[in-house]
Amino acid sequence: MHCGISKGTAMELGSTRVEVFADGRVTVGGEAISPPEGTDPYSAAIAVLADYAKSSGAPVLADAVDHVKGQEGRFHVHPDGRAEAVAGFPGATDSTPANSAVAPSDPAGAPSNSPKAAPANPSYGSAHLETQFVRPDRPRPTTGFRGALYSATGGFVNLGPSAKDQDEAELERRISRPLSGSFNTAVLSLKGGIGKTSTTVGVGMILAEYRGDHPCAIDANPDSGDLAERALGEMLYQKVKPRTITDIVRDIEKITSLTMLTDYMHHANRLHLVAGEQDPALSDALTAAEYLKIKHLVSQYYSVTLTDCGTGVSHPAMAGVLPEATNLVIASGYAVSGAKRARNTLQWLADHGYENLARNAIVVVTDKDQVSSRVNKRAIEEHLAGFCRQLITVPHDRGVADGDRISLDKISGGTRRAYKEIAAAIVDGYI
């Protein structure tokens, strides 16, 4: 690891600039360093600054900029490798460790642990019960320079999570909120191949990851739906028992417990799935009454259910799906035809007694086909946003577009973020 930081750099500039770039480069004092294998860039930069502090005999002042995380920080690095935040810099703490148990002073200036006279009229009401005797832990930063400083100082310097990390935590809080009752989100479109099933699977897996209860996804696609295949992968799906929605319809009177129901379902980790019928002659025969029976059965055991409806709104089963839906996800794409169909779907719903569902719908625009620059994506987004409660875009992702198994480990960070936003918006509609 090499860095040509001169003593003059610190003297002339007052601080040494540390930068982490999106392409993986790390620079200290304007010169690139090469972190040893297995060392994160932040710890490597601190190690370089510590070496310089040893040679100069004084702590090094560093201004850090992480262009990937969007974070900034100012801190001193000592010859022994200790790092401490600079007081007064935005986001920095004072000289007292954030989690130290230092007792506050009373109004008269005496330490709170000094002898005090008991109050003349002690209160034993709700205010007394709500007194907090233990300070809550400050959230720990896990990424970027904040995470590196926290680790390098053994937790002494805790600047707290960055704005980006706090935003992610808020999304996760919204997704994981406890629910009272059972809720159903219908995912539909008027055109196939624009991300409807991939959205159902991806969002279902996000719900499964962050919620305490198991979500359920039902494949009600009349055109040989592949919901279970997208969640399990074709190879694994072919090895499991070929139980489908048709089997549940046939045996529904015999299914009297969750244990019995799960025997008819497939499981992608914590996401439970009702597979679609692969025989076209049978899949097209699902009626509204049959769907209602399945939905009633599932709602006894699952608080969150996603229904992959297939394309169109006129299939017989939709007469059972729409009245029972708590909210809707409308799948669309950037192709002009797909965007128009999404708008027409919302208009059809409003014109046929589902105005509330249309008004509170979540439109998901997936950049699956990477349309040409001639298409004005911003105009499409702004147009559709005027017809729904929220519009969320999903970036192009080969891990989704290939049509094989969807894995949260293999999709891009942008796609995962979009799925989290959709999941949070869905649960928002339940509250």
Closest CA to 59 of 73, 78, 45: 78
Residue 99 lies in a domain: no
Mean pLDDT of the chain: 79
| Rounded Cα–Cα distance for residues 296 and 301 (Å) | 10
Looking at residue 293, the DSSP 8-state letter turns out to be H
Q: Are 392 and 330 in contact (CB under 8 A)?
A: no
- Show the tokens assigned to 157: 């310097």
Query: What is the per-residue pLDDT across 176-205, written as a single tens digit (0 to 9) for each?
Result: 999 999 999 999 987 777 889 999 999 999
In terms of phi and psi (left: phi > 0; alpha: psi -120 to 50; beta: otherwise), the region of 338 is: alpha
Residue 122 lies in a domain: no
Residues 157 and 63 in one domain: yes
**Structural domains of the chain, count:** 2
Residue given tokens 């439970």 in the structure block:
272
Q: What is the mean pLDDT of residues 75-99?
A: 62
Q: Are 18 and 65 in contact (CB under 8 A)?
A: yes
Helices (H) and strands (E) in the chain, counts: 18, 14
- The CATH number of whichever domain residue 248 belongs to comes to 3.40.50.300
Residue 224 lies in a domain: yes
Report the pLDDT value the prediction gives residue 342, as an integer from 0 to 100: 87
Report the pLDDT value the prediction gives residue 253, as an integer from 0 to 100: 95
Residues 399 and 365 in one domain: yes
Residue 263 lies in a domain: yes
Q: What is the mean pLDDT of residues 129-151?
A: 63
DSSP 121-190: S---SHHHHT--SSPPPPPPP-SHHHHHHHHHTTTS------HHHHHHHHHHHHHT---SS-EEEEEEES
- The residue that leads in pLDDT, 96 or 400, is 400
Residue given tokens 């529904």 in the structure block:
252
Residues 222 and 268 in one domain: yes
Query: What is the per-residue pLDDT across 322-374, written as a single tens digit (0 to 9) for each?
Result: 999 999 999 998 877 778 888 888 999 999 999 999 999 999 999 877 777 78
CA 125, 130, 132: angle at the middle one, nearest 5?
Answer: 140
Residue 4 lies in a domain: yes
Residues 146 and 277 in one domain: no
- CA–CA distances in Å: residue 201 to residues 96, 306, 330: 47, 9, 14
Residues 296 and 227 in one domain: yes
Report the pLDDT value the prediction gives residue 128, as an integer from 0 to 100: 36
Confidence of residue 12 (pLDDT cuts 50, 70, 90): very low
| Rounded Cα–Cα distance for residues 279 and 240 (Å) | 17
- CA–CA distances in Å: residue 381 to residues 36, 343, 372, 394, 418: 45, 11, 16, 12, 15
| Rounded Cα–Cα distance for residues 425 and 419 (Å) | 10
Closest CA to 427 of 270, 207, 269: 207
Q: What is the mean pLDDT of residues 203-232?
A: 90
| Rounded Cα–Cα distance for residues 389 and 363 (Å) | 8
Residues 148 and 15 in one domain: yes
Confidence of residue 221 (pLDDT cuts 50, 70, 90): confident
- Show the tokens assigned to 28: 């200290």
Q: Provide the domain limits for residue 267.
A: 175-428
Kindly report the pTM of this predicted structure: 0.67
Residue type, 401: A
- The residue that leads in pLDDT, 372 or 232, is 232
| Rounded Cα–Cα distance for residues 231 and 217 (Å) | 10
- Show the tokens assigned to 134: 């233990």
Buried b (16+ CB within 10 A) or exposed e, 268-281: bebbbbbbbbeeee
- The residue that leads in pLDDT, 11 or 25, is 25
For residue 35, pLDDT beyond 80: no
Query: Which 3 state secondary structure label does DSSP give 340?
Result: helix
Residue 170 lies in a domain: no
Query: What is the per-residue pLDDT across 310-325, written as a single tens digit (0 to 9) for each?
Result: 777 878 889 999 999 9
Residues 157 and 212 in one domain: no
| Rounded Cα–Cα distance for residues 27 and 186 (Å) | 49
- Show the tokens assigned to 270: 């914590």
Q: Are 252 and 243 in contact (CB under 8 A)?
A: no
Residues 305 and 254 in one domain: yes
Q: What is the mean pLDDT of residues 142-164?
A: 73
CA 38, 40, 44: angle at the middle one, nearest 5?
Answer: 105
Domain limit, last residue, from 105, 128, 162: 162
- The residue that leads in pLDDT, 398 or 10, is 398
Residues 144 and 213 in one domain: no
Residue 132 lies in a domain: no
Residues 145 and 187 in one domain: no
Residues 157 and 26 in one domain: yes
Query: What is the per-residue pLDDT across 99-126, written as a single tens digit (0 to 9) for each?
Result: 333 333 343 444 444 444 444 444 434 3
Q: What is the mean pLDDT of residues 242-266?
A: 93
For residue 9, pLDDT beyond 60: no
Residue type, 355: E
Residue 374 lies in a domain: yes
Confidence of residue 237 (pLDDT cuts 50, 70, 90): low
Residues 45 and 190 in one domain: no
Report the pLDDT value the prediction gives residue 99, as an integer from 0 to 100: 33
Report the pLDDT value the prediction gives residue 84, as an integer from 0 to 100: 78
